[in-house]
Each structure stands twice: as C-alpha cells, then as structure tokens.
Amino acid sequence: MLPKNENRLSGRSFLLGTCFVIAICCIVSYAELVITYIQIGFLQLPPAVIGLFFFLVLGNRLLERLNARFGLSPRELMCIYCMMLVASMISSRGVMEKLIPALIAVNYFTNETNSWDPLFFPHIKPWLIPFSPEQKGQATIAISFYEGIQTGDSIPWRAWIEPLCVWGILVFLVFTAFLCLAAILRKQWIENEKLTFPLVSLPLEFVHEGRGFLRNHLMWLGFAVPALIFTLNGLHEIWPQIPNLPLRYILNQYFTERPFNAMVYTPIFLSFAAVGFFYLLPTQLLFSLWFFFLLTRFQDVVAAVFGWRVSTMPLYPTRLYIGYQVAGAYMVLVVSFIYMGFPHFRQAFRRAFTATKVDDKEELLPYRTAVWGLIISLTLAIVWCYTAGLNLGFAAFEILVYVCIVAVVMARSTAEGGLLMTETSFRPLDLYQLVSTKAALGAQSLTVLSLLDAIFTRDQRGLILTGFLDGLKIRDQVGMSHRSLVGVFVLGSTLAFLCAAVIHLWLPYTHGANYMYNYTYRGNPLWAFQDNVAAMEGLGSDLRTTGGLFFGIGALVTTGLVILRMLYWWWPLHPLGYALSASWTLIVFWFPVFIAWGIKTPLLRYSGIRQYQRLRPFFLGMVFGEFSMAVIWTLISWSANTPAPFFPWP
C-alpha cells in the first residue's frame, strides 16, 4: 500500500481530464452520427479513448525528457483515461445517442397511416418530451430536428432544457446504482475470484514503461497488420482502383436451401482487435463462446426440419426459443454469482444493517454507503418511472431486472469474457410476458415503456457499469485512491452528459437527423413503439406457454453447466458462453473468437505458456493498430470530407 496521501490525484489530472472529456465527446459524436462508418465510442474499450490516450502517453514521455517534474504519473494518466472512458460511453450508445432521439422521433414519424399521435401522445407527460403532447401531427421542433433548421432560424435550446433535466435525474439514479453496485462487486470479482478484466490490459501497458511495450518489435509487427489493411481499405474508398480486403461476409447467401436457409443473420466480421483481446481469454471460454453461437444456428436448422413455426424475439436478431433460453440462463448465472460470493456479500450487507465492523477503507465506497446508496437509488428510480406513468409493480420489475440482472451479466461478460461489446437478447418486458400479456399493462405503461426500452433496456452497448469496474481494476494496478476515483467518475460523467447533450442537439439541427446515422434516429427510437402498437390496441400474442417452456430449458441447461464447472475443472463448456450465445455481441465477434481459439489452443499445447506470453504483445499490437486506424480515419474523414473504411464492429 502506498503511504498516506501519495495515491491521491492532482488537480492537473482533473483539469487535463476535463479537456480530454470534451475532445472525446466531440470526436465520438461526429464520427458516429455524421461520418457513420466508424462507430468509435460504443465499445466497452472505445477506440477513440485508446487513440487519444496513446497520444497523451506519448506527449507525457516527451515532457518527462524535458523536465521530470512536468510528467504525469501512472495514477494521473489512468485518472484521465477513466474520465475519457465514461465520457465515450455517455456520448455514444451508453446514454445520449439513445436519449435525445427517443424524445422526438415518435412525433416526427407520426402520420395518418400509423396514427401514433392519438395512440401515444395522450399518455406522455408534458415534462418528458420537448414537444406538446396535445398537438396533433408533427411539431416544428421535430421537423427542424430531422430536416435541419432553416437559414436564420435558431436551435430551440429552451424547449429541451426541462425534458433533459428530468431524464437526467433518472440517468443520475441509474449511474448511482451502478457505482454502488461496482463498489459491492469489486472485492469479490477482483480479489476473491481474480477475474482478469482483459479490457484494461492495453491502457495499463501504455503507462508501465518498465515493461517496454512500446519498444517491443512484436507489438509493432502486430500493429502493422491492421494498419496496412485499413490504410488500403481507406484509400480504396477514395480511389476505387486501389485493392481492398473485405472484412464482412454474410454466410446466409451460401445457405439457400431448406432447412439451412432458416438460420437467422449469420455474418463473419474479421476484427483484428477482437482476435487480439480474445487471445487473452481462457481456451475453455473461447470454445464455449463460438460453440454455443453455432448451436443457436443448429437449433434454427432443427426447427426448420420439424416445421416449427416460432417467431423471432421482439426487437432482437434471434428466434424466440433462443431468446427465452438466454433469459433463463441470465437468471441462473446471477444466482450462481450470489452463491459464489455469498460470504463477501453477507459481510457487506451486515456492515450496512448492523454495527458489524468490516475493513472497507480500500473500497470505492464504504459498504454501508454502497448498500444504502444502491437501495435508495433503485427506489427513487422506481418512483421516477411510476411518476412518469409506469405501473408501480412493473416499474420495480423493470428497474430491478435491468440493474441487478442484465447489467450484472453484461459486466461479467467484460470482466471475465473480455467481450468488447455488451448486448443482450431480451428486455424486462419479455420476462413479464412469461406471467401475463403486454396488453394487461395498459396504454399508459406501454407508452412510457416504449421510451424506457429505447433509452435504457433494449441496447446495452456502452454500459457504464463496465467502465466503473474497469476503473476499479485499474486502480489496483496503479495505486490510485478509491475515494479519488469517485470524483473521477462523477466529474467525468457529469461533464460528459452536459457536453454531449449540447453536441447531440447541435448536430441534428444543423445537419438534419435524416441525413445522419440511420440506427440512432430512424431505428432504435421507433422499434419499441412499433412493437407495442398491437398490445395497445388489445391485440398481440400470448407467450406464456412457449416462452415459459424455453425459459425453463435455458435455466435447466445453465444450472447443469454451473454445477459441472464447479465439480470438474476440465469441463469445457462455460455457462457464460450459453448466456451470450444469441446476442449481437457474438453475432459480430464469434468468428474472431474462433480464430483466437484456433491459434491459442495448439500454441499452449505444443509450445507452452512461455511462448504464449512472448506472443502477447503481437496480439495487443493488433488491438492498438485497429483502434488507432479508427481514430486516424475519423480525423481524415472529418477534415477532408472523404469516406472512411468499414470497421468490423457495427
């Protein structure tokens, strides 16, 4: 342990962190919304953060050579990194890319055919949205948002202040719950279970000069592979006569005959960064990830052979029978996490509710503060949802499933599985349909739920809980004060929310959202409304029997996998692979997982751990190279107004 006060952070680290937060918000927002080809901020290790952080480290080393007093310590560098990390998530898919479009899209896309204005508008509280719910048809504020303001007109900032402040309260409560949850999980996941947190490997290599990472020839060789390919692909976009290497292949086009044409979307994305990260994972987990993904496609084929007609999971690219298996797996996984960490969790909760003394001086928050903070923030979030119009019982169900089940499994997927993207295959509403129908919730609840699904529960990419936990792992490596880390997270999150809100209003009003990223403005904010129309009109299917059957199968299979993993160390199938099998994460990354497994398995068997460690810089170099190219092509596209190459993590 460092001497008292030596691990505290300096004011200059917070000042520099503030500057880099603003830079990240600008770069991420423009790249993802205007350029659209490069989704540079929503990964759990955002390329924009890695790119800027490298230049910061490089500049810091130059300053140290001039005068050692000017240099930033590893603790100060990682403080800035953590601020940029949460800023990237908030300005991307974590908050702002979902929040602002969801509040305006329902108005712009109402028309005489869908009649959304009489169907939804009467059930939206005026303080939740920037337009008047009493108005029929499109509002001027929505038209100018999607089509751009006319010359001489100004952006209607004032109309957005109230709804953004109101929704900002809910965002603050959810983030507080995540921060408290991270404080409770830290010791169990980092110290007791010793999860590897692969996503922190690259930034830590940057700041540890003694390891010679930036002087390693293998690292630069790994860097050169994606650098060369993305340079060629980028030049091909400008001059088509230059050859390129396609990084996306759709396998469905090769399976046109029954029963194989029944497989849902099955692409191959060739990501060097993903291969690099997955190289760090245990081979059993790698095998489980690609094996269970292919098993979902095999189930599609079997269903077609027997002529089963089962619908797709609402709002997700998988079949209903897979989605509910995954939901059952999540439930069992959370129970297993509690079981494995029960002694620790019991100690933390005893500290909160009794006078029992526990040594929590090194924790992010004292256990009493963390436990009560979690309870209070969840309670207030439920009250917020109820005030907005959601049924009270379902409001509690929605928040608890989202924070305590979905978010926890997603965080585990990065802490243990090293997955670059967090995405699930079901919503709390899908679990509710195991016991009742959507129509039973009523029009008021379904309307508010359409907003909540678009903003929080449908798309989990950019989940801030993973950033908090990665920050805690980083702290243990560089000796940063846990209590100082609270300030890092709070300042970074608050500043990013304010900065991103301004940018995400300015861009669509000046460029026109219709000419920007399709998913953000014409996809995600509409899908939940479209899905709930039938239920609001008293129609819709009853999923209790079908969903309950496959939910039970998923829970039973996962229980067996958990027990076998506990009893036999050699058991090759990991329950986390089963839980993630149907997610967009594995749709994108299953093939890089397969490549990493195919490289690492024979390497360990025939060359041993020493050769694995020797090649580690090469694979981290591939991560560094691909992410650096994403930043470089963002800047080129921004400054020269040229198209950017496709990056294989859509």
C-beta of residue 98 within 8 angstroms of C-beta of residue 459: yes
Does 4 have pLDDT greater than 70? no
H or E segment and range at residue 268: strand 267-269
pLDDT, tens digit (0-9, with 9 covering 90-100), for 374-415: 999 999 999 999 999 999 999 999 999 999 999 999 999 999
Torsion sign across C-alpha atoms 508, 512, 516, 520: positive
Q: Can you give the pLDDT at residue 211?
A: 63
268 bridge partner residues: 249
Report which residue type is found at 443: A
Q: Can you give the pLDDT at residue 5?
A: 45
C-beta of residue 573 within 8 angstroms of C-beta of residue 291: yes
pLDDT, tens digit (0-9, with 9 covering 90-100), for 129-151: 999 998 888 999 999 999 999 88
Dist CA 452 CA 401 (whole Å)? 13
Q: Can you tell me whether residue 244 is helix, strand or coil?
A: coil
Cβ partners under 8 Å of residue 577, min gap 6? 285, 287, 288, 289, 291, 292, 293
Q: Can you give the pLDDT at residue 356?
A: 77
Around 596, how many Cα atoms within 13 Å sit in the side-chain half-sphere?
35
pLDDT band at 71 (very low <50, low <70, confident <90, very high): confident
Around 191, how many Cα atoms within 13 Å sit in the side-chain half-sphere?
12
Mean pLDDT of 317-335: 96
Does 537 have pLDDT greater than 90? no
Q: Can you give the pLDDT at residue 11?
A: 82
Share of the chain above pLDDT 70, in %: 98
pLDDT band at 563 (very low <50, low <70, confident <90, very high): very high
C-alpha 146 chain-centroid distance? 26
pLDDT, tens digit (0-9, with 9 covering 90-100), for 469-527: 999 999 888 888 777 889 999 999 999 999 999 999 999 999 999 999 999 999 999 99
Compute φ and ψ for 568, nearest 5 degrees.
Answer: -130, 115
Q: How far is CA 212 from CA 206, 342, 617, 627, in A?
A: 9, 40, 10, 20
pLDDT band at 8 (very low <50, low <70, confident <90, very high): low
Compute φ and ψ for 148, nearest 5 degrees.
Answer: 90, 145
Two structure tokens written together for 150: 């006319």
249 bridge partner residues: 268
Two structure tokens written together for 614: 């020797």
pLDDT band at 443 (very low <50, low <70, confident <90, very high): very high
pLDDT, tens digit (0-9, with 9 covering 90-100), for 416-426: 999 999 999 99
Does 207 have pLDDT greater than 90? no
267 bridge partner residues: 250
Rounded to 5 degrees, what angle do the CA atoms 160, 165, 169 make? 150
Cβ partners under 8 Å of residue 262, min gap 6? 300, 301, 303, 304
Lowest-confidence region among 103-112, 546-555, 630-639: 630-639
| Average pLDDT along the chain | 92
Q: Can you give the pLDDT at residue 538?
A: 82
Q: What is the DSSP-derived secondary structure letter of residue 31?
A: I
Does 310 have pLDDT greater than 80? no
Query: Which H, E and C letters describe 160-206, residue by residue?
Result: HHHHHHHHHHHHHHHHHHHHHHHHHHHHHHHHHCCCCCHHHHHHHHH
C-beta of residue 40 within 8 angstroms of C-beta of residue 106: no
pLDDT band at 2 (very low <50, low <70, confident <90, very high): very low
Dist CA 196 CA 189 (whole Å)? 9
267-269 vs 248-250, strand pairing mode: antiparallel
Lowest-confidence region among 96-105, 110-119, 264-273, 292-301: 110-119
Does 355 have pLDDT greater than 70? yes
Q: Can you give the pLDDT at residue 47?
A: 93
**Whose CA is closest to 586, among 266, 129, 346?**
266
Mean pLDDT of 202-227: 87
pLDDT, tens digit (0-9, with 9 covering 90-100), for 21-37: 999 999 999 999 998 87
C-beta of residue 303 within 8 angstroms of C-beta of residue 321: yes
Count the neighbouring beta carbons within 10 Å of the beta carbon of residue 608: 10
Mean pLDDT of 294-318: 91
> In the block, which residue shows the tokens 């909760």?
349
Instruction: Classify residue 621 by burial, with Cβ atoms within 10 Å: 0-12, 13-18, 19+.
Output: buried
**Whose CA is closest to 319, among 304, 305, 333?**
304
Q: Can you give the pLDDT at residue 530?
A: 95
